[in-house]
Amino acid sequence: MTGRFITLEGGDGAGKTTQAELLTAWLEAHGRTVVRTREPGGTDLGLRIREIVLHDRGHVSPRAEALLYAADRAHHIETVVRPAVARGDVVLQDRYIDSSVAYQGVARGLGAEAIRGMSDWAADGLVPDATVLLDLDVTVGRARVAAARGDTFDRLESEAAAFHETVRQAFLDMASAEPERFLTVDASAAQDDVQAAIRAGLAPVVGIAP
Ligand code: TYD
């Protein structure tokens, strides 16, 4: 079996975790070995970086922030993702380079091309076989996060609504620029309908009938 690298992107509260769990069940039912992982924080080193980048109370300069995500990624891709894909597993990953482009490149204003170039270098050029974009109205997403966690936002989540609107638009622009890699799904639909759309879109990528 050929390994696959599939990423999930979208704003906070779009349902990436729930949808990845449902997707894992489907893939495993079809005999695939699935590695669920995320950035930042998919390794022990990454968990320490995640703590700094999301929960440090002090100011983290935008370039430092971008480099911390890239450091997490470099280690994670080399030690977790590439070995799993080489074994023939399906890697299902919450967030990847597109998040860096949307948050640091566009919303923080560091430049989409600069951040993509730097991130590609960190990941040594690994491109996902498919990227699922769970697209959701920012207000709805934030209300879901607040309801689930009682209003405790991390450093990135605490940014103003306009920041998150910019992030959303940046993801949509990337999806239109690379339609062969992106599968954009309306995340406001019922959970099962969202999952059905994802399975239908990914079926050819993973070689399973939908
Ligand atoms: P996430 O894993 O969704 O956090 P949680 O599930 O605990 O809410 O994402 C962490 C945050 O990091 C999210 O706000 C987006 C941000 N992020 C970036 O800004 N750049 C990146 O490259 C990545 C991977 C995430």
Segment 95-150, tens digit of pLDDT = 999 999 999 999 999 999 999 999 999 999 999 999 999 999 999 998 898 888 87
Residue 152's pLDDT band, with cuts at 50, 70 and 90, is confident
Which residue has a Cα nearest atom 12 of ligand 1? 156
Q: Is the pLDDT of residue 72 over 90?
A: yes
Residue nearest to atom 13 of ligand 1 (CA): 156
Q: What is the DSSP letter of 35?
A: E
Cβ(9) to ligand 1 under 6 A?
A: no
Q: Return the residue whose CA atom lies nearest to atom 6 of ligand 1.
A: 12
CA of 84 to the centre of ligand 1 (A): 22
Within 27-149, strands assigned E span 34-38, 90-94, 130-135
Ligand 1 within 6 A of 40 CB? yes
